[in-house]
Amino acid sequence: MASSIKDRVAIVGMGCTRFGELWERSASGLIIEAAQEALEDAGIEPDDVQACWIGTQSADQTGLAGLGASAPLRLQYKPVTRVENMCATGSDALRNASYAVAAGVYDIVLVLGAEKLKDTGQSGLAVTGSNPSANVANSSTAPGMFAMMATKYFARYGLAPKEGKEMLAKIVVKSHYNGSLNPRAHFQRPVSLEQVINAPIIAWPLGLFDCCGVSDGAAAAIVVPAEDARTFRPDPVFIKALQICVGPGDGAVRTDYDFTHVEETYRAGQAAYKEAGISTPRSEVSMAEVHDCFSITEATIMEDLQFSSRGRVKDDIYAEAFALKGDLPVQPDGGLKCFGHPIGASGLRMMYEMYKQLQGKAGPRQIPNPEIGLTHNMGGQPPACTVSCLIVGL
Amino acid sequence: MASSIKDRVAIVGMGCTRFGELWERSASGLIIEAAQEALEDAGIEPDDVQACWIGTQSADQTGLAGLGASAPLRLQYKPVTRVENMCATGSDALRNASYAVAAGVYDIVLVLGAEKLKDTGQSGLAVTGSNPSANVANSSTAPGMFAMMATKYFARYGLAPKEGKEMLAKIVVKSHYNGSLNPRAHFQRPVSLEQVINAPIIAWPLGLFDCCGVSDGAAAAIVVPAEDARTFRPDPVFIKALQICVGPGDGAVRTDYDFTHVEETYRAGQAAYKEAGISTPRSEVSMAEVHDCFSITEATIMEDLQFSSRGRVKDDIYAEAFALKGDLPVQPDGGLKCFGHPIGASGLRMMYEMYKQLQGKAGPRQIPNPEIGLTHNMGGQPPACTVSCLIVGL
């Protein structure tokens, strides 16, 4: 019988570089920096690592597959596996490593996520759809695809254009404020509601500030069996749920797609809550890092993850429920909004914040006594997505 | 404590397309064909699959990462993960899936490997080294790199050029004969020793027939917990060892590299034998499919896997020990030599032959009562390799 890996695997060390336009850094250099911090945090040496998983979308950047992680870290003759799952790449690397640990095959595993996204030339503004069969992606840009979500959301739930635009802007202001408290963020300046609303439009209603940045970065985690965790540190973080949901992507025009939610996020969330034993997400989840590639994405994710009622996320946004001092802080580290989205790194960057928050080490961003953290990644574009939903707690 | 997954996971269904220059087929079509055969072989429906791993090097071919497997097979809302590990890609997909099953997370997992290698334009003759830090790869072609192994091997072990060339040719003749018995092989014609020796030279001493083909193909496996295996079929194949060894690839010129063996193969073999409880590989392993990208590669692998003594593989080759009727048949299906090397598919194609042989269903290629089969993949180029070594048995 299939079973959960809840509380069977723990994270005992993490590392994260500063994110940004790191033209002068190599992917290998970023990997080394993130791994070194994670190893020191766990109190172990590189030689203690028994196996490694690396999440990266551009294999060319880091050398050939596993060798890209093996070489800079001198993981001589150890198993290294590359996992790639679009924007959920880093999270899926953590998931695969966790299964190997839960299976009892390895005792100490290093998980890496890295991307020199700036080097790829991807601007985030011109994705023409590498899957030619996805109906929405053809000739669309990423902002264009998510702008369709926004306009449909406004129409469906009766938000006037100005009203919807302001709601989205409030999300942006919240995340930029959090990023301003974070020395590892790419963008560390707060922005005002007026700045966001009046910024140049990229794809209406999404303006410049509604779009996440394009950044380089790396993050790392040390994963061990739960029963060993306290031999490494007094405050390990335990995995409560690891779920991935891959959507149809079948190229057929889905006449049932409503463009106001992402079914994969809803289903991944449901599966993760079930695995973690969470019945009331809004009250039981302490904080979340979700895939806010665009402001509208964060808004709809709040509904799909059952943090807000369908069509009513606006109420929570205006009540500042997701602010650092709200009842459910979302993107406490600044999110994709302030970190950009170096694809392989993002999932682990999110986990880094959850890990530090749970340990009470998030400095000026510290949330009071969090118990459960959730990370969410979404790759592709609705209605053809890979969504990861990972839940951790002390 | 880290433990083996020996006899904890079983393969209960497999599928494999014909390999070849399949210009008229899509990657999706190949995936569907291989998966369909595996599902029917296991006696299950697509809906029974709980999770999927796909090994493919060119994500662009099959659509976006996991979606590439999700879409054609209609694995709606299920987890699909892409694994990439150079030439060991298919084998590492099977390894990751096996860990998830061994961890008890899933009961029925589909593993896919596919590549439309012809579509990539890779000829197999012009690899310029995508890892710019690998000392050997720079500006070398694949035949050129392995030709260096051959000349060094001849020199070190005192083989005259003509003598060495004939030894390699005998490997080729053996594999082409096996391929001639296999309706799924790309090349199904036997060749004579004279044809091989007199063929145009690609990189001395490697001639046209010393190089494997460039082919398209796909293969698939259904993996379940060992305790469930006999509910699917009376003759499941159990995993005895799954090992990956990733070599240095550190860009430093390794002054200790001898160019006559691959340390990663030796180490992966040692680890796999230990995991499987094999102390005398030559007598305990019934048959093997190894990574014969070139004839010299097969020769040196025989020594690294301890099938032949160092420097003495020639004795076994001339004694026809590795022929279909020898004491340890190698490449019973024809090998990379006759199947080419569609990167994500190769590891699973090899496993398909081991699986059918163990079940006594290999037709004219049937080996009498095999008990243990070994598959071996090598990616990159010495001294910077990813090597997988998987062992299975009834």
- CA-wise closest residue to B265 among B119, B163, B149: B149
Q: Residues 113 to 132 of B: which have CB under 8 A from any A CB?
A: 130-132
Using an 8 Å CB-CB cutoff, list chain B residues near A71. Answer: 133, 248-251, 384
Task: Using the CB atoms, write b or e for A176-188: b if 16+ within 10 Å.
Answer: bbbbbbbebbbbb
| Domains of chain B listed by start with CATH number | 9-121+216-236 (3.40.47.10), 142-211+241-393 (3.40.47.10)
Chain A residue with minimum CA distance to B1: A107
Which one of B77, B378, B389 makes the best mutation probe of the A interface by having the most chain A beta carbons within 10 Å? B77
CA–CA gap between residue B194 and residue B210 (Å, rounded): 13
Q: How far is the alpha carbon of B105 from chain A, nearest alpha carbon, in Å?
A: 5
CA–CA gap between residue B205 and residue B144 (Å, rounded): 10
User: What does chain B come to in residues?
Assistant: 394
DSSP code at position A86: T
Closest CB to A246: pick one of B4, B66, B250. B66
The token pair at A186 is 């790419």
A106 touches chain B (CB under 8 A): yes
Using an 8 Å CB-CB cutoff, list chain B residues near A132. Answer: 63
Mean pLDDT of chain B: 91
Q: How far is the alpha carbon of A82 from chain B, nearest alpha carbon, in Å?
A: 5
How large is the average pLDDT for residues A324-329?
Answer: 98
pLDDT at position A135 is 44
pLDDT at position B196 is 98
- Which SS3 state, helix, strand or coil, does residue A243 take? strand
Identity of the amino acid at B82? R
**pLDDT tens by residue, A77-128:** 999 999 999 899 999 999 999 999 999 999 999 999 999 888 776 654 444 4
Cross-chain Cβ contact B134/A67 below 8 Å: yes
- Residue B231 makes CB contacts below 8 A (sequence gap 6+) with none
How large is the average pLDDT for residues A221-231?
Answer: 98
Residue A263 has pLDDT above 60, yes or no: yes
Q: Residues 158 to 217 of A: which have CB under 8 A from any B CB?
A: none
Give chain B's residues under pLDDT 70: 1-2, 59-68, 121-139, 249-255
**pLDDT tens by residue, A135-187:** 445 557 889 889 999 999 999 999 999 999 999 999 999 999 999 999 999 99
**pLDDT tens by residue, A357-392:** 999 999 999 999 999 999 999 988 777 788 999 999
pLDDT top residue among A28 and A211: A211
C-alpha gyration radius of chain A: 19
- The CA-based angle A275-A86-A75, given to 5 degrees, is 85
B79 touches chain A (CB under 8 A): yes
**CB atoms < 10 A from the CB of B154, how many?**
21
Q: How far is the alpha carbon of B60 from chain A, nearest alpha carbon, in Å?
A: 6
pLDDT at position A127 is 43
Contact B346, B320 (CB under 8 A): no
The pTM of the full predicted model, rounded to 2 decimals, is 0.95
A359 touches chain B (CB under 8 A): no
Closest CB to A71: pick one of B59, B104, B251. B251
The token pair at A263 is 């079914």
Identity of the amino acid at B290? V
Using an 8 Å CB-CB cutoff, list chain B residues near A264. Answer: 77
**pLDDT tens by residue, A287-318:** 999 999 999 999 999 999 999 999 999 999 99
Q: How far is the alpha carbon of A320 from chain B, nearest alpha carbon, in Å?
A: 32
Q: A221 pairs with which residues across the strands? A: A14, A111
A79 touches chain B (CB under 8 A): yes
- Which SS3 state, helix, strand or coil, does residue A67 take? helix
DSSP code at position B200: P
Task: Tell the burial category of B350 from Cβ atoms under 10 Å away from its Cβ (0-12, 13-18, 19+).
Answer: buried
Identity of the amino acid at B291? H
Mean pLDDT of chain A: 91
Instruction: List the alpha helices (DSSP H) in chain A.
Output: 27-42, 67-73, 89-102, 117-120, 142-156, 161-180, 193-198, 263-276, 281-284, 295-304, 313-318, 335-339, 343-358
Q: How far is the alpha carbon of B79 from chain A, nearest alpha carbon, in Å?
A: 5
Cross-chain Cβ contact B74/A263 below 8 Å: no
pLDDT at position A139 is 56
Cross-chain Cβ contact B103/A5 below 8 Å: yes
Torsion, CA B33, CA B34, CA B36, CA B38, rounded to 10: 160
Instruction: List the alpha helices (DSSP H) in chain B.
Output: 27-42, 67-73, 89-102, 117-120, 142-156, 161-180, 193-198, 263-276, 281-284, 295-304, 313-318, 335-339, 343-358
CA–CA gap between residue B147 and residue B382 (Å, rounded): 12
**pLDDT tens by residue, B126-183:** 444 444 444 445 557 889 989 999 999 999 999 999 999 999 999 999 999 999 999 9
User: What interface predicted TM-score (ipTM) does this complex get?
Assistant: 0.94
Closest CB to A70: pick one of B2, B89, B248. B248
The token pair at B307 is 């099938």
Query: Which amino acids of A are annotated catalytic?
Result: 87, 341
Residue A197 has pLDDT above 70, yes or no: yes
Torsion, CA B329, CA B333, CA B337, CA B338, rounded to 10: 150
| Strand-strand pairing, B287-289 and B372-381 | parallel
pLDDT at position A132 is 43
CA–CA gap between residue A355 and residue A281 (Å, rounded): 19
**pLDDT tens by residue, A16-63:** 999 999 999 988 899 999 999 999 999 999 999 999 999 998 765 555
Using an 8 Å CB-CB cutoff, list chain A residues near B2. Answer: 50, 104-107
Confidence band, pLDDT 50/70/90 cuts, at residue A206: very high
